[in-house]
C-alpha cells in the first residue's frame, strides 16, 4: 500500500455562514492542494468535507496519516464515536447526529483506506495546517462574494 499524508482544515465566517475547506495531499515529493466552499454552512461541515474530498482523491487503498485541527472529527474516530453512531443508525445516544451523510461518506472512506488520525493545534507551528487554513479562508472569502 502507498503511504500518503493528508492535512485538512475548515473555516467558517459565522456558524452558520460562508465556509471553506482546504486540504493538502503528500505522496513522496509530490503535493496536491485542494479547496472548496459553500455559501451557507457550518465549521464542522467544512472540516468534514476537507477530509472527505482529500480521501476521495486516492485512486487505490492507501495507508494515510490524516492531520486535522478539528478535535471533533479526530475524536470521532479515535474515541469510537463513529462506530457507535453507525450501530445506532447514524444517531447519537441523545438523538440527532448532525451531518450524518458526511459522517457516512467519511466512515466508508476510512474503511477503504488505513487511516491514522492525528490532531494538530490550529493556527500554531504546523506549516501544512497553516497552508490548509489559508486555502480554506480564501475559498470561504470567494464563496461570500
Q: Does 87 participate in catalysis according to the annotation?
A: no
Q: Is residue 42 predicted with pLDDT exceeding 90?
A: yes
- Residue of 22, 47, 50, 113 with catalytic role: 47
CB within 8 A of 65, min separation 6: which ones? 3, 4, 5, 6, 116, 118
pLDDT score recorded for residue 97 = 97
Query: pLDDT value at position 122?
Result: 85
Gyration radius of the chain's alpha carbons = 15
Question: Please, what is the angle between helix 71-78 and helix 43-56, to 10°?
Answer: 60
Give the residue carrying C-alpha cell 472548496. 36
- Selecting among 20, 38, 69, 113, the annotated active-site residue is 69
Q: For this structure, is 133 an active site residue? A: yes
Other CB atoms closer than 10 Å to residue 52's CB: what's the count? 18
Nearest to 28 by CA among 56, 2, 66: 2
Tens of pLDDT along 6-41? 999 999 998 999 999 999 999 999 999 999 999 999
* Per-residue pLDDT tens over the stretch 77-107: 999 999 999 999 999 999 899 999 999 999 9
- Out of 14, 80, 83, 123, the active site residue is 123
Residue 123 pLDDT level (bands cut at 50, 70, 90): confident
Residue range 57-81: mean pLDDT, rounded: 97
Q: Is 50 a catalytic residue?
A: no
The reported pLDDT for the residue numbered 124 is 86
CA dist., res. 17 & res. 40, Å (int): 5
Cα of 69 vs its chain's centroid, Å: 9
Residues in contact with 18: Cβ distance below 8 Å, sequence separation at least 6, in sequence order: 12, 37, 38, 39, 40, 41, 140, 141, 143, 144
Could you please state the CATH topology (level 3) that the domain comprising 2-144 is classified under.
Answer: Nucleotidyltransferase; domain 5 (3.30.420)
Domain borders along the chain are 2-144
Catalytic site includes residue 123? yes
What is the distance of C-alpha 125 from the center of its chain?
A: 19
Annotated catalytic residue 10: yes
User: Model confidence at 145, in pLDDT bands (50, 70, 90)?
Assistant: confident
Active site residue 107: no
Q: For the chain, give the percent of residues with pLDDT over 90.
A: 92
The whole-angstrom separation of Cα 117 and Cα 64 is 8
**Residue where the block lists cell 475559498:** 139
Amino acid at each position: 500500500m502507498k503511504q500518503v499524508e493528508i492535512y485538512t482544515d475548515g473555516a467558517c465566517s459565522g456558524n452558520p455562514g460562508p465556509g471553506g475547506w482546504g486540504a493538502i495531499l503528500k505522496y513522496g515529493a509530490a503535493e496536491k492542494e485542494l479547496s472548496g466552499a459553500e455559501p451557507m454552512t457550518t465549521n464542522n461541515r467544512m472540516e468534514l468535507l476537507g477530509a472527505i474530498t482529500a480521501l476521495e482523491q486516492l485512486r487505490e487503498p492507501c495507508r494515510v496519516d490524516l492531520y486535522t485541527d478539528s478535535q471533533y472529527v479526530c475524536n470521532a474516530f479515535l474515541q469510537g464515536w463513529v462506530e457507535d453512531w453507525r450501530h445506532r443508525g447514524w444517531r447519537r445516544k441523545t438523538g440527532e447526529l448532525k451531518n450524518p451523510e458526511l459522517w457516512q461518506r467519511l466512515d466508508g472512506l476510512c474503511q477503504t483506506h488505513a487511516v491514522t488520525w492525528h490532531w494538530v493545534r490550529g493556527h500554531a507551528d504546523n506549516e501544512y495546517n497553516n497552508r490548509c487554513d489559508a486555502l480554506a479562508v480564501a475559498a470561504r472569502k470567494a464563496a461570500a462574494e
